């Protein structure tokens, strides 16, 4: 059954891409194809849509959801960092817009059976691309206590990272940690009840996020992609990125600011020696957040942060 879920900031993101017929657009994170369908709608009949996802299920779904646009779509199962290769295969030098809607799709969370959710008992896998080899179970059962604590702190901003890592070490001495609920229970044990009762989120939220980021090398791939993306845009081409947490958003913001800066020499230098060139202008002066009514209808969208640039 094809799936289609509520897409965060759907019309806003597509509007920032400035989609026009006859032009070429990339969605590097197809997910449920909500953004993709709207982009295709806007660029029919003679545009070209390139869709990428590292999850095979998203590609299969896109083939079905985007069926009525099949003359203008090209789909690739892989990482968005491979975009230069995909463009080469299509004999395309540059594109007019790129969208990234980062993180996890609702399908992955609710129905993939890969342990992304701490509310269900599933094997602790968390790979978006099943062709990669390291799972969340591997990390949880093999990393040393300090490495685990650092992972939870750096990728999950989890203040109780050491206590949680300690509980994991105790638990796995008895038996390997195999499932999502098993891990969620271990995390709960490390957090005093009165502390998590005050929090609005489940006590395992940050640990699950950190593991997912590590398994899929999410921040590394985002940085790699941003380093190559600007060169793949035509003049006036746009890049629009939707992030879901501050770690991603910080990387995006810093890169966008760098692109729109003329000179990166230290302020104390009497003259410019950096040869840095401004390559883009910000179209979102500040981060754009979803409207109140969208958050009411789709609470999953509440932490979305949208930023967009235009290549000079
Ligand atoms: C939030 S969902 C996208 C939702 C989509 N915009 C929609 O309208 O339904 C994120 C998707 O991006 C994919 N993804 C995340 N990181 C990726 C990467 N580095 N390369 C390719 N796909 C990625 C995930 O597998 C997931 O399907």
34 lines ligand 1 (CB under 6 A): yes
User: What is the domain extent for residue 155?
Assistant: 133-215
Specify the ligand 1 atom closest to the Cα of 34: 8
Task: List per-residue pLDDT tens for the chain, 312 residues long.
Answer: 676 667 999 999 999 999 999 999 999 999 999 999 999 999 999 999 999 999 999 999 999 999 999 999 999 999 999 999 999 999 999 999 999 999 999 999 999 999 999 999 999 999 999 999 999 999 999 999 999 999 999 999 999 999 999 999 999 999 999 999 999 999 999 988 777 667 778 899 999 999 999 999 999 999 999 999 999 999 999 999 999 999 999 999 999 999 999 999 998 999 999 999 999 999 999 999 999 999 999 888 899 999 999 999
Q: Are residues 201 and 76 in the same domain?
A: no
- CATH number of 186's domain: 1.10.150.170
Dist. CA 197 → ligand 1 center (Å): 32
Predicted TM-score (pTM) of the model is: 0.96
Specify the ligand 1 atom closest to the Cα of 225: 19
Q: Are residues 103 and 14 in the same domain?
A: yes
Q: Are residues 178 and 305 in the same domain?
A: no
Q: Are residues 210 and 237 in the same domain?
A: no
Protein residue with its CA nearest to atom 18 in ligand 1: 79
80 lines ligand 1 (CB under 6 A): yes
Q: Are residues 46 and 172 in the same domain?
A: no
Q: Are residues 163 and 283 in the same domain?
A: no
How many domains does one find in the chain? 2
Dist. CA 31 → ligand 1 center (Å): 5
Ligand 1 pocket: which of 128, 240, 290 to mutate (most atoms within 8 A of CB): 128
Q: What is the 3-state secondary structure (H, E, C) of the chain?
A: CCCCCCCCCHHHHHHHHCCCCCCEEEECCCCCCHHHHHHHHHHCCCCEEEEEECCHHHHHHHHHHCHHHCCCEEEEECCHHHHHHHHHHCCCCCEEEEEEECCCCHHHHHHCCCCCCCCCCCECCCCCCCCCCCCHHHHHHHCCHHHHHHHHHHHHCCCCHHHHHHHHHHHHHHCCCCEHHHHHHHHHHHCCHHHHHHCCCCCCHHHHHHHHHHHCCHHHHHHHHHHHHHHHEEEEEEEEEEECCHHHHHHHHHHHHHHCCCCCCCCCCCCCCCCCCCCEEECCCCCECCCHHHHHHCHHHHHCEEEEEEEC
Dist. CA 47 → ligand 1 center (Å): 22
298 lines ligand 1 (CB under 6 A): no
């Amino acid at each position: 059954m094809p799936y289609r879920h509520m897409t965060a900031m759907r019309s806003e993101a597509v509007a920032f891409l400035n989609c026009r017929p006859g032009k070429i657009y990339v969605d590097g994170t197809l997910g449920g194809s909500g953004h993709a369908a709207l982009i295709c709608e806007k660029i029919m009949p003679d545009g070209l849509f390139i869709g990428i996802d590292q999850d095979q299920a998203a590609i299969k779904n896109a083939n079905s959801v985007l069926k009525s646009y099949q003359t203008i779509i090209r789909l690739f199962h892989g990482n968005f960092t491979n975009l230069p290769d995909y463009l080469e295969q299509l004999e395309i030098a540059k594109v007019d817009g790129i969208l990234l809607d980062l993180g996890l799709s609702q399908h992955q969370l609710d129905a993939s059976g890969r342990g992304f959710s701490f509310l269900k008992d599933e094997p602790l896998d968390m790979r978006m691309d099943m062709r990669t080899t390291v799972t969340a179970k591997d990390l949880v059962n093999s990393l040393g206590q300090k490495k685990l604590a650092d992972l939870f702190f750096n990728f999950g901003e989890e203040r109780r990272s050491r206590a949680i890592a300690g509980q994991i070490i105790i638990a796995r001495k008895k038996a390997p940690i195999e499932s999502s609920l098993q891990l969620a229970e271990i995390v709960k044990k490390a957090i005093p009840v009165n502390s998590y009762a005050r929090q609005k989120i489940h006590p395992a939220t940050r640990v699950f996020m950190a593991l997912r980021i590590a398994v899929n090398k999410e921040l590394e791939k985002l940085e790699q992609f941003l380093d190559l993306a600007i060169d793949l845009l035509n003049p006036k081409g746009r890049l629009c990125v939707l992030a879901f947490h501050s770690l991603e958003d910080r990387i995006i913001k810093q890169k966008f600011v760098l692109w729109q800066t003329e000179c990166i020499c230290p302020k104390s230098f009497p003259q410019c020696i950096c040869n840095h060139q401004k390559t883009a202008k910000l179209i979102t002066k500040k981060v754009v957040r979803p409207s109140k009514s969208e958050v009411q209808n789709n609470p999953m969208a509440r932490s979305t942060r949208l930023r967009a640039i235009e290549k000079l």
